[in-house]
Structure 1
Amino acid sequence: MVDAVTHALLALGLLTAIPVAFLVVQIGAALLPARRSVSVISMPCPRFVAVMPAHDEEAVIARSIASIMAQLPAAGHLLVVADNCSDDTARIASSAGAEVVIRQDTTRLGKGYALDHGIRALAADPPQVVIVVDADCEVAPGTLEFLAKRCVATGRPVQARYTMLAPPLPSSADKVSRLAWTIKTFVRPLGSARLGWPCQLMGSGMALPFALVTRLDLATGHLAEDQKFGAELALAGSSPLFCPDAQVVSQLPQGETGKRQQRTRWEHGHLAVIGQFFLPLIRRVVSKPSLHLLAFTLDLCIPPLTLLALSLMLIGGLNLSWFAATGAASPLVASSVVLAGFAGAIVVAWRRFGQEIISGRELAAGPAYCLLKIPSFIRFFIHRQVDWIRTER
């Protein structure tokens, strides 16, 4: 009995080593020099449309549109999908220079439905590239043309860097959340790009060939429609590429309700995507071995960092208790090595990319922040969020 439990605990520790090892590789690779890529500067700009789904965004959409209109080349166009709006989003967007289509359907809610409506509106005169930009994002100069060119040059989806700024007077939890976001959306995909591997789609700053986007099941209320689309594209042989030279910028919500809504949608949506696509991706890797698809699968299956940290601490505590009771050291050694690898990777990422985000003292309190996330992860297993809810700004 003792041996069976020891072996089970050891196996559990080794299982957690897989996502941690891949995380370590990604963060380590992010420190490497950039890979050379074919220059797209001299390419003619392809026809593209920036599609902006917007639900009750009158407070922020004018600023977002201004950042786009200031850089639209002759080949570019902006389409705003005013989705089930009860405010002046459509009027403000039109006054700011965007083309606006209105969608009203209160039975099918979610960003995916708005995207589907926008793509259908383009079908009569399709562009070469569609670039998705959220209504609360500002687009860095030159980003749209660069994304469109890179998308056409590679024939694959391209993801810009998605930067999330802290709200005014951020709490320590805000800073931990922003560091986790930076690791997920910049450090890890940068490491994958350094190794020539694909990345996940991130919702905003996504450039997709029109021929590919029409094959996606866009009309969905999935909480993590971006990661769902990325997984579908990877299964179709067109996994996304990361483009750190292009950037969209947003801000974490200020109110506690908005923060909770956003984090719950991200976390529950990510876990749902893992559950939906892990086996199909693994089957495809086994049937048609591909290092790129394996890397995409491992990247997708790294759970939210707070959940991964909680799991490692829980397993470490169980193994410590088992060692105290039985003297079996192998599970404790294995889990300690994995936990040390995880902690070391986070510290390396913080030192290179996150010291302006959070101080070392606040980072050291990260485990306490992870403990506060336990109710959210419990809700995923007993009463998870399935309906798409717009984040309160």
Structure 2
Amino acid sequence: MALLSLTVAGIACFALVAIFAIECIAGAWPSGRRAERSFSNRPAIAVLIPAHNEALGIAATLRSIGDQIRGGDRIVVVADNCDDETAAIARIFGAEVIERRDSVNRGKGHALAAGVAHLRQSPPAIVVFIDADCQIASGTLDALVADVMAFNRPVQARNLQLAPTGASIGLAIGEFAFRIKNHVRPLGMSRLGMPCLMTGTGMALPWNLVEQANLATGHLVEDMKFALELAQNGAPPRFCEQALVTSLFPTSAEAVETQRRRWEGGHLAMMRFAVGALSRPSAWRSAAYCALLLDVLVPPLTLLAAAVAVMTLIAACAALLGVGLLPLAIAVAAVLLFLLAIGLSWAAFATELLPPRQLVRLPAYAIAKLYKYPRMLLSSSRHEWVRTDRSRPQ
């Protein structure tokens, strides 16, 4: 019985690593540059920006967007329960501003729903969603719109969070993990002909999908849930590597931890949902929906590494006690596959971020994070707007 239990646990762990590794290897493997789509006339679009007390950074966001706006395009800012100058600054940059006051229905999802309701008065062909603390790289709007027009499907830009210059090794490792999650893995999914998850900012959708969407969910990871709903309804999101949205990590250690706990806690909740969904035969009728559910099942990088390490340790102890070697063989295979995926991802996308001499600090960083996960697993989702604090130095 012990051998069977360990073998089943080892196979489950290996399966998660295999999903992660397939995505990473496909994303990191050298590939020819994709031909860029160009057009002289594109339809008018609306850029929808939900904002809560973003007076310190929204000017930079609007400036990066304004440089790419064409005739007929609109910028709509939803100033949601703000008590600063967010709305006034947005008006200076020519944005349409909706000032929303609702002490009960708070949160990004409700702000987006209010923005969509405003756009219904004169619907655009395409809506691009950008967070108020992000900036977009040159050509991003055109790249997103070109893909939406070509495929009539939702499109997700490359969404990266950057560590400030001179940041700690912890933030550099955090940026590397972000690159794997929001660049390497969705790129791999795209190369395999699969859809990608949405990341909350840098999303572009045709109006017919925006109008039908249920945005006011208040879920911790509403973007992940939204992607699953789109795929289930026959409109799986596509990844657009040519479009780039960036933001900075929070400037205080407390804010970094709050943000990470919110994201990863939400991801753990979605993993529970994915397990339930995959147990129903209806989930397997759509390859795109099933692929996204399997993608959701892969835990945050640190937790996946910990699961592999613990499984290997337990299997090694069992082998020494004479239980059997099969669980250990499976665990070792998972370790090697995990290291291959991480190594290829680092070599392709992060050698300048994490020089080889700093890689030895990865295990210590991972161990320092592990104690937080039991609290995340037991915590309930919060349904309010939690703004990331970027105002204090670290």
**Are the aligned partners of 1:235 and 1:284 in contact in 2 as well (CA < 8 Å)?**
no
Structure 1 residue 294 displacement after superposition: 3.1
Unaligned runs of 5+ in 1: none
1:181–1:287 distance in 2 versus 1, CA, 3 Å:
closer
Alignment match of 2:291 (pick from 288, 295, 314) = 295
Amino acid at match of 1:75: G
- For the pair 1:178 / 2:175, whether they are aligned, the reply is yes
Structure 1 range deviating more: 26-35 or 345-354? 26-35
- For the pair 1:359 / 2:358, whether they are aligned, the reply is no
Amino acid at match of 1:258: A
**Are the aligned partners of 2:50 and 2:80 in contact in 1 as well (CA < 8 Å)?**
yes
Moved runs in structure 1, 4+ residues, more than 6 A?
none
**Residue of structure 2 equivalent to 1:309:** 305
Structure 1 residue 270 displacement after superposition: 1.3
Alignment match of 2:115 (pick from 113, 118, 121) = 118
Structure 1 residue 36 displacement after superposition: 5.6
1:276-355 alignment, distance < 5 Å: 276-280=273-277, 283=280, 288-290=285-287, 292-355=288-351
Structure 1 residue 275 displacement after superposition: 2.0
**Are the aligned partners of 2:10 and 2:331 in contact in 1 as well (CA < 8 Å)?**
yes
Amino acid at match of 1:305: L
**Are the aligned partners of 1:35 and 1:194 in contact in 2 as well (CA < 8 Å)?**
no
| In 2, Cα distance between equivalents of 1:105 and 1:21 | 45
- For the pair 1:213 / 2:181, whether they are aligned, the reply is no
- For the pair 1:129 / 2:101, whether they are aligned, the reply is no
**Residue of structure 2 equivalent to 1:257:** 254
1:150-165 alignment, distance < 5 Å: 150-165=147-162
Alignment match of 2:237 (pick from 217, 236, 240) = 240
| In 2, Cα distance between equivalents of 1:237 and 1:35 | 28
| In 2, Cα distance between equivalents of 1:379 and 1:266 | 13
**Residue of structure 2 equivalent to 1:98:** 95
| In 2, Cα distance between equivalents of 1:303 and 1:177 | 15
TM-score (norm 2): 0.94
Instruction: Write out per-residue CA displacement over residues 2-52 of structure 1, whole angstroms, 9 at most, x where no aligned residue.
Output: xx1111111111111122112221222121424867x64126212211000
**Are the aligned partners of 2:278 and 2:284 in contact in 1 as well (CA < 8 Å)?**
no
Unaligned runs of 5+ in 2: none
Amino acid at match of 2:345: A
| In 2, Cα distance between equivalents of 1:286 and 1:247 | 31
Alignment match of 2:220 (pick from 209, 218, 223) = 223
1:114–1:309 distance in 2 versus 1, CA, 3 Å:
same
| In 2, Cα distance between equivalents of 1:189 and 1:327 | 40
Instruction: Write out per-residue CA displacement over residues 54-107 of structure 1, whole angstroms, 9 at most, x where no aligned residue.
Output: 100000000100111111011321000001101111101111221110111121
Alignment size in residue pairs: 388
Structure 1 residue 315 displacement after superposition: 1.3
Q: How big is the alpha-carbon RMSD for the aligned residues of Structure 1 and Structure 2?
A: 1.8
TM-score (norm 1): 0.94
1:259–1:287 distance in 2 versus 1, CA, 3 Å:
closer
| In 2, Cα distance between equivalents of 1:47 and 1:281 | 39
Secondary structure at 1:373's aligned position in 2?
helix
Amino acid at match of 1:250: S
**Are the aligned partners of 2:2 and 2:323 in contact in 1 as well (CA < 8 Å)?**
no
Structure 1 residue 289 displacement after superposition: 5.0
Structure 1 range deviating more: 174-183 or 16-25? 16-25
Structure 1 residue 327 displacement after superposition: 4.8
**Residue of structure 2 equivalent to 1:33:** 31
